[in-house]
Amino acid sequence: MSQTKKAPQKIIAQNKKAWHDYFVDEKYEAGIALYGTEVKSVRMGAVNLKDSYCSLRGGELFIVGMRISPYEKGNIFNRDPMRDKKLLMHKKEILKLGGLTAQKGYTLVPLSLYFSGKNVKAEIGLCRGKKLYDKRDSAAKSEASREMERRMKEQSRFD
């Protein structure tokens, strides 16, 4: 069995709000169709995923609400920063995701954007929305684990 080496991944942007607002059930990788000046802006890290989501239209998947700031040296070749970006996935995966999002409570949310070699990829999450009490519960758990780590670190200093 030969193992293929994966190219190192350089994370460009993360959607931390998605982890706060949703339970992520599954993750998928998708390529993004971008134009030249958009790729240059992405390389500079001028991307915002905060209020973005994925939409299924005509058998194709799009990221809606992702902002790629215009490239300052791009002049007339710059595209609209808020245009819908097409995601590149296999047809079977898109149909599967379409069926899952048709179920009650599921949505597709971009979790992160990264370089895989020279290609820009998006990590898409199949998510269920959190209620307010779920958000409080997860915040309390993370605070408790931080406090526990702080105490362990403090204890190890005195040993």
pLDDT confidence bin for 1, thresholds 50/70/90: very low
For 33-80, the pLDDT digits (tens) are 887 777 888 888 888 888 888 888 888 889 888 888 777 776 766 677
Q: Are 121 and 32 in contact (CB under 8 A)?
A: yes
Query: What mean pLDDT value characterizes the chain?
Result: 80
Residue 64, helix vs strand vs coil: strand
pLDDT of residue 7: 54
- Domains in the chain with CATH codes: 9-129 (2.40.280.10)
How far, in whole angstroms, is CA 137 from its chain's centroid?
23
